[in-house]
Amino acid sequence: MRKMMKTGMVFFMAMMVLLTQHVTADAKEKVLNKTMTIDLNKDSAGIRFAPTKLKKYSKVKVRVKNKKVLKAKANGRKYIYLKGKAGGRTTMMIRLYKGHKKVQVYHYSIKVIGKGQDGYKAQAKKAFTIQNRYRAEKGAKALTWSDKLYRFALYRLKHSGYDGHKNLPTDMENFFGDILVINNISFGENMASGQTSAKEVMLSWKHSPGHYRNLLNKDYQCGAIARYKDTWCAVFYDGSPENLSKKKQDVADIVVTIKRRDKASGKYIGGATIGYYEENDRWNTSKRITVGESGRRIVLEIGKTYVFYEKTTPDGYDKAKKVTITVTKDMPREIILSDN
């Protein structure tokens, strides 16, 4: 009986040692928490991914919590294949083993951006926060975030892309309409392409003298940053955010469209620079605009006489004739300049 009790005690102690050793081994495994974004607008075919050199390990195990959002499978010890299925969020656990011992764990929080979704607003706001930090470092006031300007910046990227500001005037008119000219709105803009994070794009603007000077401008009051795929757009405005959605009430002003027409073909052409001024005060009222094929809208004051002339003529066309017009309430809403 004593021998049996002694043998049983030895077996029990041996099991306790093994259990203690197993717990100690698991306690030493490394757990790394990471985040990942998969954009089905770009990564719809699936991606190959490895958090580290998988060949160093004897076994790789992958588990995804929400399989309706993401599919993941280890291809031996080469890579992990990820396939986004729908927009949403999930977690993924990657366990790496040496022998029978689990030595490394990666815990990923994953956001999947569905097709047609924006998905980048959080990154854009992070860039905006960094931008305000840059401004504070140089003594400039923080800009106020404007949802209206965010929607415009996103509109710019989706419609014109990284265009070097070429289509900025046209996009402004199409997005804001008459309010743009009635409230005399103009913007500053920074653009970038190829950066994949808020930190990266802000560093690129910081290291570019022109972009950096633009984002530090103390006259600006509000703005926004947008990202779409691999392009970024920052918009700056020196007025109140209210001016972007509420028209100023002034019955003395009307909105007209300035157009440039080729006499020979009868077609409206773009690319001309048109100058204009009040007839009795040229030096203090001179302005210039660039017109597209659809023209350019401006605000004129009823009762005043304006002179319009072509400063820069598009290649291959003759210079347009000067036009003088007195503004009345019932006048046509188009002013057309044409060559001889």
Instruction: Give the predicted TM-score (pTM) of the model.
Output: 0.54
Domains of the chain: 28-111 (2.60.40), 118-242 (3.40.33.10), 251-336 (2.60.40.10)
Report pLDDT digits (tens) over 276-311.
999 999 999 999 888 989 898 888 999 999 999 999
CB atoms closer than 10 angstroms to residue 155: 17
Beta-strand runs (E) in the chain:
30-39, 47-49, 59-64, 70-75, 79-84, 88-98, 101-113, 144-145, 187-193, 222-228, 231-237, 253-261, 273-278, 287-290, 296-301, 305-312, 323-326, 334-338
**Higher-confidence position of 214 and 27:** 214
User: CA 170 to CA 215: how far, in whole Å?
Assistant: 22
Contact 66, 89 (CB under 8 A): yes
What does pLDDT average to over the chain?
Answer: 86
Report pLDDT digits (tens) over 23-66.
333 445 788 999 988 878 666 678 888 899 999 999 999 999 99
CB atoms closer than 10 angstroms to residue 210: 8
Distance (Å) of CA 266 to CA 205, 274, 312: 44, 19, 19
Taking the CA atoms of 36, 42, 47 and 50 in sequence, report the sign of the dihedral they define: negative
Furthest CA-CA distance within the chain: 124
CA dihedral of residues 176, 180, 183, 189 (deg, nearest 10): 100
